[in-house]
Structure 1
Amino acid sequence: MKTKILILLSAFAVLFAVDANAQKLKKFGSSVEKKIGPKTIKVPYTEVVSYLGYAAPGNEDEVKDNKKFYYIYVWVPLVAPELGVRMMSPVGKTKIKGATKSASYEENAGSSDYFDTYITLERSDIVSKDKISEEGVKAANWTTLERNDDSSEMPKQPSGRGYNSLLRYKSVAGDPLKALTVGLYRIGFTTYKKGEVNGTFLAQVAAPVKIPGVVMAKTIEELKKGL
C-alpha cells in the first residue's frame, strides 16, 4: 500500500513540475538594471502588450532572404525611449492576462506544435493613422532596428533547447532612421533553422513608460479596427 502511495505522489510531483515549467515566464525586464542585495535584476517594463497567435505553413506574409516571414503590426502612438520584443513558442499552459487572442489561436490553442523563433523589430515611415492601409503598408519604407534568434532569458522549448527570442532596442535621438517615433511598426518572425513556422506563439511588445493606445494585430484590417 505504501509503495502505491509513493508511486502516486511521485506521479503528481512530476505532473506539477511539468505544469509549473510550462507556465514559467519571467517578468519582461528592460535594459535598466538595479542591484538588490547580491543580485542584479533588470527593471520590469511598465507597459507590456501581448498577442497570442498561431502560425501555419503557407500563411507567410513575405519571403525575404530565402526565409518565410510572418508579420504582426504594431501601432505606437507616443515617442518611446526603448522598446522590447519577445516571442515564445509554444504557448502551452502559460497564462497571459489581457492578451489579444487571434481567431487562429483560439482554434489551435491545444496544439503541441512549436517552432524555433527568430524575430525582428521594424519601423515604417508611416506616422499617421490615416495613412494606414493595405496599399500604404506595401508602399512604406521599412527599417530593421534590431533582431534576435535565441535568448537565454526566455523559457526553453519542449525540446530542451533555448530557441525562444527576446530583443531590446533603445531610441537613437537625432537619427530619423533609428529613433523610436510615433508610427507603425511590425514584428517580423520566422524560423532560423530549416523547416516551417508552425505552432502557437506569444508575442509581446514592451516599453519602460506608459503608452496608452498601443495596438497589435496580425493584419492591417484587424489593426485598423483597434485604432
Structure 2
Amino acid sequence: MKTKILILLSAFALVFSTTVQAQKLKKFGGLTEKKIGPKTIKVPYTDVVSYLGYAAPGNEDEVKEGKKFYYIYVWIPAVAPELGVRMMSPVGKTKVKGATASSSYTENAGSNDFFDTYITLERSDITSKDKITADAIKAANWITLAKNDDSSEMPKQPSGSSYNSLLRYKSEASDPLKALTVGLYRIGFTTYKTGEVKGTFLAQVAAPIKLPGVIMAKNIEDLNNPD
C-alpha cells in the first residue's frame, strides 16, 4: 500500500512540475481585431514592458476591502490610446525577453508557489516624474480604470484552473478622469479568494504604439532610479 501511495505522489509531483514548466504566453493582443482566413485575432500590441516579481505574506502595500493589495508602479511618459495589463503566476520556466527582474524574484525564482491573481489598473493625479515621492503617492488621488480576475486567454495555473488575469482599457479622451494621460499609474494585485498572496509572478503592461521610457517598479526608489 505504501509503495502505491508513493507512486501516486510521485506521478502527481511529475505532472505538477511539468505543468509549471509548460505554461506558455500567447502574443499579447489589444482591442483591435483582424480577420485572417476563418479566424479573427486581436492585433498584437507593439510595445510590451515586463516585470518579474515574488509576492509574500507580510509584504503587502495596503489592506483594501478586506484584501491584501500589492502594487507595481508604472510611469507612462506619453498619452496612450489603450493599455493592456496581464499577470501570470507562477512564472515557472517561462522566458520573457528584456523583463525587469526584482531581487525578490531572483531569490525565489525556483519556487512553485502561485496565487489566484486579481488585478487592477489605477491612474493617479501625479503627472510629473520629478514629483514622485512616498508622501506624494500617499496623498495622490487614485482612480481605478479597469480590473480583472480570471481570463481564458491566459495560461492555466498548475491547478488546471484559468485563474491568471488580463485586462484592456481604452482611453476616453473626452473624460479627464478616464483618459490615459502622461503620469503615474499602478497595477494593484491580490488574490480573489480568501488567503495569502504568495508566489512568483509575471506582470506586463502593453500599448498599441511605442511608448519610450515606460518604467515598472515595485518601489519608488527603483522607479526614480531604474537600472
The alignment's TM-score, normalised by the length of structure 1, stands at 0.91
1:176 aligns with 2:176: yes
Q: Using a 3 Å threshold, how does the CA distance of structure 1 residues 185 and 40 change in structure 2: closer, same or farther?
A: same
**Structure 1 alignment gaps of length 5 or more:** 1-10
Quick check: 1:76–1:213 contact (8 Å CA) kept in 2?
Answer: yes
Quick check: 2:90–2:200 contact (8 Å CA) kept in 1?
Answer: yes
Quick check: 2:23–2:156 contact (8 Å CA) kept in 1?
Answer: no
Counterpart for residue 34 of structure 1: 34
Structure 2 Cα separation of the partners of residues 157 and 19 of structure 1: 8
Counterpart for residue 94 of structure 1: 94
**Post-superposition offset of 1:21:** 6.4
**Post-superposition offset of 1:18:** 3.4
Counterpart for residue 51 of structure 1: 51
Percent identical residues = 79
Counterpart for residue 3 of structure 1: none
Structure 2 Cα separation of the partners of residues 155 and 76 of structure 1: 27
Map 1:204-223; keep pairs closer than 5 Å. Answer: 204-223=204-223
Structure 2 Cα separation of the partners of residues 196 and 23 of structure 1: 23
Structure 2 Cα separation of the partners of residues 166 and 100 of structure 1: 19
Counterpart for residue 194 of structure 1: 194
Structure 2 Cα separation of the partners of residues 124 and 109 of structure 1: 31
Q: Using a 3 Å threshold, how does the CA distance of structure 1 residues 136 and 20 change in structure 2: closer, same or farther?
A: closer
Counterpart for residue 135 of structure 2: 135
Q: Using a 3 Å threshold, how does the CA distance of structure 1 residues 164 and 20 change in structure 2: closer, same or farther?
A: closer
Structure 1 Cα separation of the partners of residues 150 and 19 of structure 2: 23
**Structure 2 alignment gaps of length 5 or more:** 1-10
The alignment's TM-score, normalised by the length of structure 2, stands at 0.91
Counterpart for residue 123 of structure 1: 123
- CA deviations 1:86-130 (Å, max 9, x no partner) are 000000000000000000000000000000000000000000011
Quick check: 1:75–1:216 contact (8 Å CA) kept in 2?
Answer: yes
Structure 1 SS opposite 2:42: strand
Runs (4 or more) in structure 1 with deviation over 6 Å come to: none
Quick check: 2:122–2:188 contact (8 Å CA) kept in 1?
Answer: yes
- CA deviations 1:53-81 (Å, max 9, x no partner) are 00000000000000000000000000000
Quick check: 1:23–1:95 contact (8 Å CA) kept in 2?
Answer: no
Structure 1 SS opposite 2:223: helix
**Post-superposition offset of 1:20:** 9.4
**Post-superposition offset of 1:42:** 0.5
1:226 aligns with 2:204: no
Quick check: 1:118–1:150 contact (8 Å CA) kept in 2?
Answer: yes
